[in-house]
Chain A
Amino acid sequence: MSDNHNDTHAQRTSLHDALDALGQRVRDEPDAAFETRLRAAALPAPVVARIGFRPRGALAAAAVVALAATATTVVLTQLNPGETEDPAALATALEADLDVFLALEDVFTLPARVEVAALDAETDALATIGTALDDDWASEWTTDWTTDWTEAFDEPTG
């Protein structure tokens, strides 16, 4: 081999290695926490992101089950309160409620009765007045229309 050939070969390989060294410098550029940051970015947060990737059907089913469980609890509590509350306390509370209810009935029903009676009397009075008026008007009307009109305009003779 000639000296020229050896020189060219040496130059080529040296350039090759210099490029490798440059690449290594670039790869060494990020700090030691680089891989940790990369892993954090690549792997999503365990809970929130995973929900996003679950099939919609499964999510909907979970929501329906949760809703049904809540509704059942509410219904059972309302229909069967003795199982969840003290019976004596419940009886006292019911009695108190009943007293309040009865008192309310007096308050609301008494004025109504009074008013109805007053209204009845008023109606009777109006009916009486009306009848009287009707009678007067009817009599007047009857007089007017049963009288011969010619009589009304007859000029007195003589």
Chain B
Amino acid sequence: MIQSRAESSPGIETEGTSDLVLAPKANPAAGDAQRAAGELDPAILTACARDDQAAWRTLIAHYGRRVYALVRSQSLDPATAEEVTQSVFATVSQHLREERYEERGRFEAWLFRVAGNRARDELRKRKRRGHTVTLDANVHAAALNRNASPDAEVGARLQHAIARLGPEDREIIQLRHHAQMSFKQIAETLAQPVGTCLARHHRALKKLRATLEQHGDHA
């Protein structure tokens, strides 16, 4: 089932330019239990392979928006992000029905790897066609900032800061926070030890904070 995101309402207050102050919480890996609890029952995949409509509804409800968020975070516009997400699920459907996917408890890792690759392919394709692809997330941030609430403002600033990170740092942030993956799932997706992923995430947060402090007054 889709995990509830009620626990993540931030209650953010902004002080000065870019400081984000909040009541203390647990360590960054604390959400892992909840994220892992949201893993899909493998029987759903078996049912999907038989074209069970209810199973497909569950699968898409579980992963659809998470895949979309991961794809969208690659600086793709909403329409393209949805199109890419659809192509990812068409691939999933094809693999399941042709029994080309062998369930080894790593569906999620496989799914998000496919989504990441597809998004990168789309970016490359657009570059070849001469579309301007900018990693500066102005467009994305503007879209998210339509309802100019304080949360939206913070979101836009964060998005700018993420766009300024290196590809590796950006990747781990997107997998963790856009795709809502646990560190175990991230480790499987990136084929890296969990410890390495935790360290990468920690470094990425540190850089993100530095970027926010550096560019906060321009955000």
Give A contacts to B, CB under 8 Å: 6, 9-30, 34-35, 37-39, 41-44, 53
Report the interface size for chain B: residues with CB under 8 A from the other chain.
58
- Among B9, B90, B152, point to the contact of A42 (Cβ < 8 A): B90
0/1 interface trace, chain B 202-214, chain A, CB 8 Å (1 if under): 0001001100100
Cα distance A25–B72 when bound, in Å? Answer: 11
> Is B32 in the interface zone, CB < 8 Å from A?
no
How near does chain B come to A6, taking the closest CB pair, in angstroms? Answer: 7
Give B contacts to A, CB under 8 Å: 5, 8-12, 19-26, 28, 31, 51, 53, 56-57, 60-61, 64-66, 68-69, 72-73, 78, 82, 85-87, 89-90, 92-93, 97-98, 143-144, 151-152, 154-155, 158-159, 173, 176-180, 205, 208-209, 212
- Among B11, B69, B208, point to the contact of A23 (Cβ < 8 A): B69
Cα distance A96–B25 when bound, in Å? Answer: 103
How near does chain A come to B182, taking the closest CB pair, in angstroms? Answer: 13
Contacts of A17 in B (CB 8 A): 8, 10-12, 22, 25
* New A-B pairs, 12, CB < 8 Å, besides A13-B28, A21-B10, A26-B69: A11-B209, A12-B209, A13-B25, A14-B12, A21-B154, A22-B144, A23-B69, A29-B68, A35-B60, A39-B60, A42-B90, A53-B98
Closest residue of chain A to B145 (Cβ to Cβ) is A25
How near does chain B come to A155, taking the closest CB pair, in angstroms? Answer: 114
Contacts of A26 in B (CB 8 A): 68-69, 72-73, 144, 178
**A18 & B65 in contact (Cβ 8 Å cutoff):** no
- Among B5, B22, B92, B152, point to the contact of A13 (Cβ < 8 A): B22
Closest residue of chain B to A19 (Cβ to Cβ) is B177
CB-CB under 8 A for A44 and B93, given A14-B10, A15-B205, A34-B64? yes
